[in-house]
């Protein structure tokens, strides 16, 4: 389980260290940094697939994602922000620690003059350690610039130095299982992290179309394989769970998956109607709820499941059923839920243990509300 998440210089997250629980709810007012936190987690996951540099480019490149305020934040009582923006080499740093492993990356600008791609971020430092805290003696793999070194089983550093490109992550590009098996384990774990964010439910939404179905233990991000995912849930023996949650959300209704000429489609039988409604006929909120059902009853729970504002476009009456679904999923997987729906958070807290992290913005910078020095989980970044 991950116990700590740390972010530095990513948008409004100048210096944030958060505790994570089995089920963490991240909340806060508009503009407090919730979506930035969600994106920071995605960026960490992207690094394991070597997609972090491309993901940053899509967000406008490193310069626009870096914290836009002064280096040390704005001091209380300062009315005007002035002075040098950054004196030290700035980096976007992301990391997490867990019971078994920790990982941190530090992305920065290339040395001027060496390349025309001056805005492409480079990995300046990347480290993997064992145990809950970064200590020099706990390092398993250590990348400084283009050079990776790994610890051998005796505990000493191996003699081999491996070179990788500055724009590649050690997690994805350094894959010698003999040199550092833990790196591969960690990579596969991060690759299993799953993110869901705003399913489309418009008239042309992929989830409304019939599709050829194959066994689908993991719902796609766009929900295109909804029917196959629901049928997989039924066939792995969770039909009763599915029926229960659908009945709790829409009393008297039942979901069915219809197969015709190899094409699968979702249907909802509703009280008072003579025929079931097809996915194309369902309301946005109903379809979205079914998408969350398919995502959360997954027969293959990931290491970490991150949901961004699952309450979007759901009627408040559905939130208790959504909370039950989330609480059920949290028994099998670690969950981070970004939400500003108080009824959802209250419903969750009433049925299960929730770690709530409330974000607030102070002088442009995201802070954890009420977090004193001593409440902040211990965290240290590797130096450049």
Ligand X SMILES: Nc1ncnc2c1ncn2[C@@H]1O[C@H](COP(=O)(O)OP(=O)(O)OP(=O)(O)O)[C@@H](O)[C@H]1O
The residue (of 13 and 104) whose beta carbon lies closer to ligand X is: 13
Q: Taking CB under 5 A as the rule, does residue 312 contact Mg ion? A: no
The residue (of 32 and 334) whose beta carbon lies closer to ligand X is: 32
Q: Cα(123)–Cα(109) distance, rounded to whole angstroms?
A: 9
Smallest gap from residue 287 Cβ to Mg ion (A): 22
Q: How buried is residue 258: exposed, middle or buried, by Cβ count under 10 Å (0-12/13-18/19+)?
A: middle
Smallest gap from residue 32 Cβ to ligand X (A): 4
The residue (of 162 and 199) whose beta carbon lies closer to ligand X is: 199
Contact of residue 70 among Mg ion, ligand X, none (CB under 5-8 Å per partner type) = none
The DSSP call for residue 157 is B
- State the residue for tokens 């145990």: 131
The residues in 211-270 that bind Mg ion, with binding defined as CB under 5 A, are none
Q: How buried is residue 218: exposed, middle or buried, by Cβ count under 10 Å (0-12/13-18/19+)?
A: middle
Smallest gap from residue 308 Cβ to Mg ion (A): 7
Question: Which residue from 103, 148, 140 is spatially nearest to 382, judged by alpha carbons?
Answer: 103
The DSSP call for residue 75 is P
Contact of residue 110 among ligand X, Mg ion, none (CB under 5-8 Å per partner type) = none
The residues in 28-57 that bind Mg ion, with binding defined as CB under 5 A, are 34-35
Sheet holding 2-10, edge to edge: 13-19, 2-10, 91-98, 101-108, 122-130, 139-144, 147-150, 162-163
The DSSP call for residue 100 is S
Contact of residue 11 among Mg ion, ligand X, none (CB under 5-8 Å per partner type) = ligand X
Contact of residue 30 among ligand X, Mg ion, none (CB under 5-8 Å per partner type) = ligand X
Binding site for ligand X (CB under 6 A): 11-12, 28, 30-36, 65-69, 340, 364
Contact of residue 305 among ligand X, Mg ion, none (CB under 5-8 Å per partner type) = none
Residues of this chain that interact with Mg ion (CB under 5 A) are 34-35
């Amino acid at each position: 389980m991950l116990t700590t998440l740390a972010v530095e210089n990513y948008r409004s997250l100048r210096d944030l260290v958060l505790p994570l629980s089995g089920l963490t709810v991240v909340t806060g007012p508009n503009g407090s940094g919730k979506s930035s936190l969600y994106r920071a987690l995605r960026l960490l996951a992207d690094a394991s697939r070597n997609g972090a540099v491309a993901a940053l480019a899509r967000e406008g490149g490193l310069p626009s994602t870096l914290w836009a305020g002064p280096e040390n934040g704005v001091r209380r009582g300062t009315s005007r922000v002035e002075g040098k923006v950054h004196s030290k080499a700035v980096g976007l740093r992301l990391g997490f620690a867990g019971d078994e492993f920790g990982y941190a990356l530090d992305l920065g600008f290339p040395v001027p003059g060496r390349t025309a791609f001056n805005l492409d971020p480079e990995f300046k430092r990347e480290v993997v350690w064992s145990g809950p805290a970064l200590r020099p003696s706990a390092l398993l793999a250590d990348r400084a610039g283009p050079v990776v070194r790994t610890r051998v089983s005796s505990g000493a550093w191996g003699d081999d130095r491996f070179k990788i490109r500055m724009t590649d992550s050690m997690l994805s590009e350094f894959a010698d299982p003999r040199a550092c098996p833990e790196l591969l384990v960690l990579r596969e774990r991060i690759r299993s992290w799953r993110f869901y964010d705003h399913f489309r439910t418009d008239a042309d939404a992929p989830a409304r179309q019939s599709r050829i179905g194959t066994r689908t233990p993991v719902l796609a991000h766009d929900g295109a394989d909804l029917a196959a995912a629901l049928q997989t849930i039924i066939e792995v023996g969770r039909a009763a769970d599915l029926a229960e949650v659908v009945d709790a959300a829409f009393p008297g209704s039942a979901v069915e998956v219809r197969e015709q000429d190899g094409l699968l489609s979702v249907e909802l039988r509703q009280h008072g109607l003579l025929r079931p409604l097809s996915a194309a006929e369902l309301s946005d909120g109903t379809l979205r709820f079914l998408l969350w059902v398919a995502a959360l009853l997954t027969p293959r729970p990931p290491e970490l499941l991150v949901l961004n504002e699952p309450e979007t476009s759901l009627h408040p009456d559905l939130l208790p059923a959504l909370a039950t679904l989330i609480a059920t999923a949290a028994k099998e997987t670690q969950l981070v839920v970004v939400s500003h729906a108080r009824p959802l958070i209250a419903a969750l807290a009433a049925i299960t243990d929730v770690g709530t992290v409330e974000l607030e913005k102070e002088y442009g910078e995201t802070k954890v509300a009420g977090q004193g020095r001593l409440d902040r989980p211990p965290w240290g970044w590797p130096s450049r």
